Amino acid sequence: MQLIIDLGNTQIKYFVFDDNRDIDTRTVSYDHWENTLTQLQREYPLIEKCIVSDVNRSIQQIYRGLWCLYRLFCVCGLATAL
CATH number for 6: 3.30.420.40
**Domain span at 71:** 2-75
- In tens, the pLDDT along 26-66 reads 999 988 888 888 899 899 999 888 888 877 665 666 666 66
Strand-pair category, 2-7 with 49-54:
parallel
30: in domain: yes
What is the model's pLDDT at position 79?
Answer: 46
B/e letters for 40-69, b = 16+ CB within 10 Å, e = fewer, are: beeebeebeebbbebeeeeeeebeebbeee
81: in domain: no
Q: What is the mean pLDDT of the chain?
A: 78
32: in domain: yes
Total domains in the fold of the chain: 1
Question: Considering the entire predicted model, what is its pTM?
Answer: 0.74
R_g over Cα of the chain? 13
Closest CA to 56 of 11, 22, 25: 11
80: in domain: no
